[in-house]
Amino acid sequence: MAKKITYASAMDELRIILEKLQTEEISIDDLSTNIKRAEALLKTCKTKLRDVEKDISSLIDSK
């Protein structure tokens, strides 16, 4: 995985995988690789979201 992926590009990639999954364009050979990648991206997104949330609440609290 790229070292510093942005939230937006992680989300874009997730959506592409999701579309493949939903239209069943994905082959069994690629399924596992794609799912692993999607889980990693999801984790990245969630972590980033949580960090932003923490940052914002600490900004608001410090007022």
Partner 1 sequence: MKSYSLFELNEYIKRVIALNFEEAIWIKAEISQVKESRGSVYIDLIQKDENGDTVIAQASAAIWYKSFLFIKKKLGELTDSILQDGIEVNVKVKVDFHERYGMKLSIEDIDASYTMGQVEINRQKIIERLKKADLIDRNSMTYLPPVLQNIAIISSETAAGYKDFVAQLADNPYGYSFNTTLFHVAVQGRSTSSEVTAALKEIHSRDEDFDTAIIIRGGGSKIDLSGFDDYNIGHAIATNKVPIITGIGHEIDLSVADIVSHTYLKTPTAVANYIIDHNLNYETEILSLSQQINGEVANHLKLEETTLNQIEQVLRFKPVEIVKWHKNKLEHVKNDLNQSTRFMFNKLQEELKNTERLIASLRPENILKKGFSYIETNKKIISAASELKKGDEVKIVFSDGKKAATIK
Do 8 and 49 contact (CB within 8 A), yes or no?
Answer: no
| CB of 31 vs partner 1, minimal distance in Å | 6
Closer Cβ to partner 1, 1 or 52, answer by number? 52
User: Which residues lie near partner 1 (CB under 8 A)?
Assistant: 11, 14-15, 18, 21-22, 24, 26, 28, 31, 35, 38-39, 42, 45-46, 49, 52-53, 56, 60, 63
Give the 3-state secondary structure of residue 7: helix
> Measured between alpha carbons, how far is 1 from 37 in angstroms, rounded to an integer?
8
> Measured between alpha carbons, how far is 8 from 2 in angstroms, rounded to an integer?
14
Closer Cβ to partner 1, 2 or 60, answer by number? 60
